[in-house]
Structure 1
């Protein structure tokens, strides 16, 4: 039996084939296959109604023609029925569910099945992007975890992914930082807490250089020296960058994030003038009130809002650097797609960047990659305000992760005290569990939200062992692993699939049907670049598995029943772990 990873795609193709065989205009017929309400089936085709209305035909009669013309391999695997005026519901037969659980036995098989139109494409994902010489704070969390999840989803679907951390490592702030460094640097503090000391020095330098002051002019001269390649200034800048990189990497390691490149703003410094010359020569950019700008009069919002690519004082800006970055990613990385992950407040900037790049590349014959600005909302407290420390300061990301681990450790210790003495974890094991579960809780709380929305940060909710949380899902994984330890076999044992029979009980069938939907969840999350769709699926799968585990004893004496239930456990474990890893979370074998 042919076993598709994504049955929705195969049903779509099959219905088009049936449309042609039934005498419909197959080119005009759109099946509109989607996941169905489980009460009515696994998939539903809604396209008959629109086609019938357009052709002035009876939709139910058309649906009957399509059912009669369905390919035999589809009817062998699915029960199809017409509902209402012409909806077609498809329900997978138990034998087809068994075939799927047998076929997709490991993460490699799942990934091979997930291959899509993205296969072979190169995608550059630009995310995190903190500023050098500053600590990462809670505001950097969303870009980092959403960006990493998107990278993993794209790669799982067959794309070649290039992770680029576009650091804010150039610009006017360095003049003030060097000014402060030369006057107030504390060598001891630089050795002990370098990034904190750099933040202190920048703050002092900024406060000491108000507009119009001689000190501000000195700071500007420090910047001029840096930008002109003064060896002493460059050496300081390099030190600032190295110190910052080490601090960033500590955070990324805790979050399980890695980058292929750290091509910050400084990397593009010598690539800006050629961009401006080309835009000017093509008459895409022109002078306006002393600045060099690009207008987009055809766009309703940007008719009078220029995209400034060179300021009135002749200095470049974010627009200049981002245009040079677009060019580099297309010419050097051969990018077919570019995704930039930032908060929603930068939407206008990146929309104008895309419009400008389209005009520029069209005029020069360069290929325009697919461009996605992946926006996200804010993290707030329960009053809807930005998260702050008790004294009103910005919460450092390091401190947030530390607190997550400490809070989770308290929960783990409390639960551990209630376990039989022979099964208790050591203190070292408790800390290891708390590290994984605490960090995962923070990541998942962010990813499980629709990224377009603000979300309320709540320790109680994100660390709870029930509800749509990381601890709940990690516990589901650990619970399944405990069954295999008790059974004395590995969840990857190939004998399970050979010995298993098709699911029979309602609970067995429900969890098997949910497993098959993994493909749809991955496709939806990847196509929309919205990881929360995968989070919701994993939560629902864990719920269906829990219901199955409570209704049907797994380790029964009847060998075929035992095998099929263990196989369902094994595939649930595989899909849960694969899905959580796609989100960037680490999992636990015991909890």
Structure 2
């Protein structure tokens, strides 16, 4: 199936090149789209086969990332388009223009085309039908569009022109556009599947996991852990590395994709969870492996901090659930208070991240929480101290909040190293 997907990608790029260069081919392709949208059997059969190949490949990525989807592709909304356009026409919004049907929007020079001159539908017609369906059939309260920043105006136009949403953006139902920066090729141009040699996400994820597992085995974990524990930790570290590397940055920032740099600067650093970079460092530097600290705003630092907290609680030999029932939390030391105050900010940070749709806000909070815990643990003895019960409870509270952050970011925590 991988070979079929790769061949399909090559076919797509070749077709796009010919579409741009051959007017006759372009015309036939446009008519083919109209016939497909019209439900012609042969075209729908070919389209369904392409969808199935793509779906199988996408599912590999979704499975690795722990993503669950309710699939409603563009074609799902096709039957609703004529009715939506008729409704917009009855509102007096749709006009004829050079054979096409368009909607003129105040303050925008270019009209929104909802039916092309050849009778075919486009993104605008599909997006209008999708908006209608989500509001009227699914009764959505908050619709969030996630695309690159270049499409923001399109979605804002589609969401507001029909008058289906309140004018006040703070009222429900509402629609928000979550723009993200462009992924650029090494030539500085926009990374496009149709004309660029792209790196498949599934390959990047597999490489991250495999390197993580190799290092765990080199550290002797294969002899200490079960195969299931080894696989689970390799996936948690490898996949978490890739996820956090993107989520910690402001989503509006453009970045240049480079496969080697992604693995060297992000994945390999993140694999230091088990005090490693042995598989990523040249032989002459291997003597200095253990001089590399587990620090920095990376998933490894966060996962390590969480695993260390769990280790502290285990080594205490105390039943943390019983301590929660009988223990008292006191924050006398400055670093105890600093950690406690940071924990209290969790709900505010989650609200801010959700309101502004900025996951990097939660990442920053999680990193600072780990920093505060490291400072607390460095200056406050836990096990064997007079304050052991209180400090174990503070450790547990920190671990619970960290796991909540991991859950929201889609990262699987590890409990031992």
TM-score when normalising by structure 2: 0.82
1:499 is aligned to 2:292 = no
Alignment of 1:322-471 (within 5 A): 322-358=127-163, 369-380=173-184, 393-413=197-217, 416=219, 425=225, 429-455=229-255, 458-463=262-267, 464=269, 465-471=294-300
Work out the number of aligned pairs and report it. Answer: 383
State the shift of 1:536 in Å: 0.5
1:572 is aligned to 2:404 = no
User: Could you tell me which residue of structure 2 aligns to residue 280 of structure 1?
Assistant: 89
Query: Residues 387 and 395 of structure 1 are in contact (CA less than 8 Å); yes or no, is this contact kept in structure 2?
Result: no
Query: Residues 166 and 173 of structure 2 are in contact (CA less than 8 Å); yes or no, is this contact kept in structure 1?
Result: no
For residues 187 and 213 of structure 2, what CA distance do their matches in structure 1 show? Answer: 27
Query: Which of the two has higher C-alpha Rg?
Result: 1
State the shift of 1:225 in Å: 4.6
Aligned CA-pair RMSD: 3.1
**CA 1:242–1:285: 2 relative to 1, 3 Å:** same
Q: 2:48 aligns with which of 238, 253, 274?
A: 238
1:296 is aligned to 2:105 = yes
1:523 is aligned to 2:351 = yes
Q: 1:262 aligns with which of 49, 59, 71?
A: 71
State the shift of 1:240 in Å: 2.2
Alignment of 1:110-125 (within 5 A): none
Q: Which moved more, 1:425-434 or 1:572-581?
A: 425-434
User: Could you tell me which residue of structure 2 aligns to residue 480 of structure 1?
Assistant: 309
State the shift of 1:431 in Å: 4.6
**CA 1:529–1:496: 2 relative to 1, 3 Å:** same
Query: Residues 497 and 564 of structure 1 are in contact (CA less than 8 Å); yes or no, is this contact kept in structure 2?
Result: no
Q: Deviations over 1:536-558 (max 9, x none)?
A: 11100111101111111111153
State the shift of 1:574 in Å: 0.2
**CA 1:322–1:222: 2 relative to 1, 3 Å:** closer
State the shift of 1:433 in Å: 2.1
Q: Which moved more, 1:220-229 or 1:563-572?
A: 220-229
* Structure 1: gaps (5+ residues): 1-190
User: Could you tell me which residue of structure 1 aligns to residue 282 of structure 2?
Assistant: none
User: Secondary structure in 2 aligned to 1:478?
Assistant: helix
Q: Deviations over 1:257-307 (max 9, x none)?
A: 111x2111111111111122222221112122332222222x3xx1x2211
Q: Deviations over 1:34-66 (max 9, x none)?
A: xxxxxxxxxxxxxxxxxxxxxxxxxxxxxxxxx
**CA 1:519–1:352: 2 relative to 1, 3 Å:** same
User: Could you tell me which residue of structure 2 aligns to residue 533 of structure 1?
Assistant: 361
Higher helix fraction (1 or 2) = 2
For residues 434 and 387 of structure 1, what CA distance do their matches in structure 2 show? Answer: 29
Q: Deviations over 1:181-240 (max 9, x none)?
A: xxxxxxxxxx56332233344445556665333x66665565455333333433332222
For residues 179 and 18 of structure 2, what CA distance do their matches in structure 1 show? Answer: 35
Query: Residues 496 and 564 of structure 1 are in contact (CA less than 8 Å); yes or no, is this contact kept in structure 2?
Result: no
State the shift of 1:471 in Å: 1.0
Higher relative contact order (CA 8 A, sep 6+): 1
For residues 295 and 572 of structure 1, what CA distance do their matches in structure 2 show? Answer: 54
For residues 226 and 173 of structure 2, what CA distance do their matches in structure 1 show? Answer: 52
User: Could you tell me which residue of structure 2 aligns to residue 193 of structure 1?
Assistant: 3
For residues 166 and 325 of structure 2, what CA distance do their matches in structure 1 show? Answer: 54
For residues 381 and 224 of structure 1, what CA distance do their matches in structure 2 show? Answer: 33
* Structure 2: gaps (5+ residues): 270-293
1:316 is aligned to 2:126 = no
TM-score when normalising by structure 1: 0.59
